[in-house]
Structure 1
């Protein structure tokens, strides 16, 4: 994808991560220009309806009192410190209620928060936020999600403590240090002639189709992971494999590695534990589906790297990149 890969959702952001200042995070939080991003159960606080944007609040705002754990020092924006607080301790209005539908379209508000602000699922705002806001929110969501699931030492099981401005957890019992991890996931544009391979996960809504994807296993190259995942899910063998672009995906902490693969054949045998369906789609039909003109195919949503890759292939933008 070349330079265009940097325009993929969540790949941007305004943050200067300022690693050299992480040890001074406590002092930076006291600066008058310090601001924080609030996240409630993974949902960032935004303001505005038609064109939402991240809502940055002073670090001493009253709602910060709902925070669980220490804040994360995200870095600097225009020289001013930026933090993230997890305010999941607040008992929101939807407590005990599971969000309806495939996406959480609910919004939570509170009178102590700025007028017009609300907590929203980042998936729901994926195309509404600016590229910079989406990237900054993804960083905050991923790092706070890591703290939520790594509160205990993986070596001895004792409670660990946040350190280095939230970019490290130390164990006071055995002195082990732990750092955030990103899980690599291959997502494959598998092509045979003029057709692309689409699949549907069993838990997705009817008619929703996307590219095949799977986690890279220990000791595995990207190319090997692509060939293994495609073979496991559809029994299709892949020949040439090429890397195209990547996307940080904070649900919870993956890096989606977009790849192009040439299928050696067309016969599909799905693994029902992985896929509900899979089939070949022509470039022309894919273009219609992306335009919302196919009654049987609802392609990957805008903002996801799968949509970006499918659209680029349908428009012929990858033809030069995928030829020897």
Structure 2
């Protein structure tokens, strides 16, 4: 697909320098470099320049900054374009006093939290809300940091024997000192489907989404299943629409919390929808002209998929006839 890697979080060629992860000496040298920097994540929210500016940038602090005093782990992300080592740290131990936390975990979290040790004009903000205002390099760093730190937060114990595991490989592995098992960061493959029939596209919505919001159908790939089979199964389960030919279009890391979205195109063999209410809340066919109204904000009922998500990206390229 043309422009496939222009999707948000599509990457900017971060030098991950994976060959340096297993050497404690190399990691010590990297941390001691004067230009070494660290980005901060609090409860999954990266620290950025405050909202109100056109383009946001991740905050970078030195490794001896006071804000890192309570952090127990640094994850080595790689090297930036100037060769400087870049790390990520989770400071979710911090408890903000007198700040609004009621929106944490909601579909759209508009709140921002200011740490007393952060420079003026910086705050922790929800990544989904600001992802389109980050450069490709900043977005790649933010997605990588959020995903890997989120994995550590939920995988502190060995899945084989239950003992507490230890961080290894500069944060890219956990090892069990009790049984010797090794554990690696989790990535869950998810198919998301641009299902078309003639000049129409199939959309659906999940319970709890904002009113009027529709998107492409999606679902997790199951063990022992190909991507093509997952596309056909998910569409059949959710809308009872049979799908014929399936082709791959583009992928998107989606760190909410640990998915890799596999964007595919499928040709429906029927337009009849028999929706499963346990899977989705609603499903419908929308013509190309109607979808253009949606993107223009002129449709009376339907709002577009979230800008920055691969669903929005695929639909936008479908409208522009840029899928091949």
Q: Same fold (TM over 0.5)?
A: yes
Place the TM-score, normalised by the shorter chain, in its bin: over 0.9
Alignment of 1:267-286 (within 5 A): 267-286=272-291
- Which residues of structure 1 form unaligned runs of 5+? none
Note if contact 1:66-1:88 (Cα within 8 Å) is conserved in structure 2.
no
Note if contact 2:100-2:111 (Cα within 8 Å) is conserved in structure 1.
no
Report the secondary structure of 1:232's partner residue: helix
Alignment of 1:111-260 (within 5 A): 111-260=116-265
TM-score by length of 2: 0.95
- Matched residue count: 317
**Which of these residues, 49, 59, 62, is aligned with residue 63 of structure 2?**
59
Note if contact 2:190-2:261 (Cα within 8 Å) is conserved in structure 1.
yes
Note if contact 2:103-2:111 (Cα within 8 Å) is conserved in structure 1.
no
Q: How far apart in 1 are the matches of 2:28 and 2:167? A: 12
Note if contact 2:101-2:111 (Cα within 8 Å) is conserved in structure 1.
no
Q: How far apart in 1 are the matches of 2:112 and 2:186? A: 29
Note if contact 1:72-1:83 (Cα within 8 Å) is conserved in structure 2.
yes
Q: Which position in structure 2 is the counterpart of 1:5?
A: 4
TM-score by length of 1: 0.95
Report the secondary structure of 1:13's partner residue: coil
Q: How far apart in 2 are the matches of 1:14 and 1:119? A: 25
Q: How far apart in 2 are the matches of 1:261 and 1:244? A: 10
Note if contact 1:192-1:262 (Cα within 8 Å) is conserved in structure 2.
yes
Q: Which position in structure 1 is the counterpart of 2:20?
A: 21
Q: How far apart in 2 are the matches of 1:182 and 1:195? A: 32
Q: Superposition RMSD on alpha carbons, in Å?
A: 1.4
Note if contact 1:106-1:120 (Cα within 8 Å) is conserved in structure 2.
yes
Measured after TM superposition, the shift of residue 95 of structure 1 is: 7.0
Note if contact 2:147-2:256 (Cα within 8 Å) is conserved in structure 1.
yes
Measured after TM superposition, the shift of residue 14 of structure 1 is: 5.2
Q: How far apart in 2 are the matches of 1:14 and 1:59? A: 24
Measured after TM superposition, the shift of residue 114 of structure 1 is: 1.1
Note if contact 1:234-1:271 (Cα within 8 Å) is conserved in structure 2.
yes
What are the superposed Cα offsets for residues 236-268 of structure 1, whole Å, 9 maximum, x if unpaired? 000000000000000011100000000000111
Measured after TM superposition, the shift of residue 132 of structure 1 is: 1.1
